[in-house]
Amino acid sequence: MRFDRDDYSLVDEPSGTAPTRRRRGTAAALALAAIVPLGFAGWIGWHAAADDHGSRSGADTAQASLTAGGSGASTPDGPDAAGGSPSASASSSSAAPPTDRSGAVTTGRPLAGKVIVIDPGHNPGNVDYPRQINSTVFVGNGSKACDTTGTSTNSGYSEARYTLDVARRLRALLQSEGAKVILTQDGNLPWGPCVTQRAQIANAAHADASISIHADGAPGSDYGFHVILPAAVHTGGVDNRSIVGPSRTLGLDLRAAFAKATHERYATYINHGTGLDVRSDLGGLNLSKVPKVFIECGNMRNFGDAARMTSPSWRQLAAQGLASGLTAFLAR
C-alpha cells in the first residue's frame, strides 16, 4: 500500500530359462506363476509409495520465537481459499525416491530443491498492537516502524487479509511443484513480525527467492499493479548490492507472469506506467541477502481493483501469476 507500504509505516525380469529336463517343466511353471504376481504386487506397492511421497508437502512457517505468539497453522481466509496439501506417510519395503535438502522429491518437479520465502504483508492482528508495531527498527539507511496495519478497500476488506490469502494459495502451488516454502507469518502471530525479522527469515533459510505480497492504498482514480525492486544500499552495516541484479530479473519475470495471469494493467500512478519501481526506503529489501521483490497487486481504493481483489477466483489467478513468475526466475 502506498501510504505506509513495506515496512509499511509472498520390472519384472524373471529370466525364464527353459528347464533341462521335461519332467521338471510343470513344477517350474507353478513356481513362476507364484513369483510373477508377487513381483508385480511389489512393483505396484513401490509406485504407490513413490506417488504418495511425491505429494507430501509441509506447511513451513517462521518460528514463533521471532515474535510473541502461537505456532498453530491457520485455515485460509474464506471458503474458496486454497491451503497446503495434507501430509501423508507411506511404508514400503522398497527404497523411497530420492529427495534433496528441502525434503522435496527430486524427480520430475521443476522447483525441487528450491527454497522460497513468501512474506504476506502486514498482519490482521496489527491493529490491536499499536505500541509494538509503531516501535522503530534500523534498516541500514534510517529507521522505520516495525510494521503497520496496511490499507483496506472502502468496504473494509483489509490488505492483511488479502495478502495472507494469496500467500497461502501461492504456497500450495509452489509446493505442488516441489519447492520448500516458508511463510514469514501464517496467521499464527498476534502481530508483525517486524520488517527486519521478515528479511531475516529469508536470509536464514538461504532462500533462492523471496516475495513480499502487498496491495496499495492510492487515490481511488488510480489503478493497476507494480513490482518494487531494491535499490543498492551500502551503509550502516548494510550491503544489498549483490542481490540488486537478480532481484531485478525476478521482478521482470513476476511482472510479466502476473499481468498475463490476471490481465491487471501496470499501475497508472507509479513510474510512468512501467509496472516497476525502485526504492531504497524499504527494510525488507535493504536487509535482504537473497533475491527479493515486493508486489503491489492493485489499488484497494480503486473500485475495479477492489472488486477483483475481493474475489476468491481472482486471488487464485494472482497466486498462479506469482507462481509462474517465480518458476520462470528459478528455472534460469
Residue 13 annotated to the active site: no
195 within 8 A of 6, measured Cβ to Cβ = yes
Query: CA–CA distance from 84 to each of 55, 76, 90, 169, 320 (Å)?
Result: 11, 9, 19, 8, 14
65 within 8 A of 298, measured Cβ to Cβ = no
Q: At what angle do helices 241-262 and 312-330 cross, to 10 degrees?
A: 140
8 within 8 A of 147, measured Cβ to Cβ = yes
Convert 202-231 to b/e letters by CB count within 10 Å (16 or more is b). Answer: bbbbebbbbbbbbbbbbeeebbbbbbbbbb
Query: CA–CA distance from 130 to each of 9, 134, 148, 276, 324 (Å)?
Result: 11, 6, 8, 31, 36
Cα(74)–Cα(151) distance, rounded to whole angstroms? 22
Name the 3-class secondary structure at 311.
coil
**Set of cell numbers at residue 213:** 505480497
120 within 8 A of 277, measured Cβ to Cβ = no
**Set of cell numbers at residue 32:** 513362476
Which among 159, 177, 264, 296 is annotated as catalytic?
Answer: 296
88 within 8 A of 56, measured Cβ to Cβ = yes
Name the 3-class secondary structure at 34.
helix
The DSSP code sequence of 43-108 is: HHHHHHHHHHHHT----EE--GGGSSS--PPPPPSSTT---PPPP-----SSPPPPB-TTS-B-SS
Please calculate the CA angle 134-136-141 and round it to the nearest 5 degrees: 140
* Active centre residues (catalytic): 296
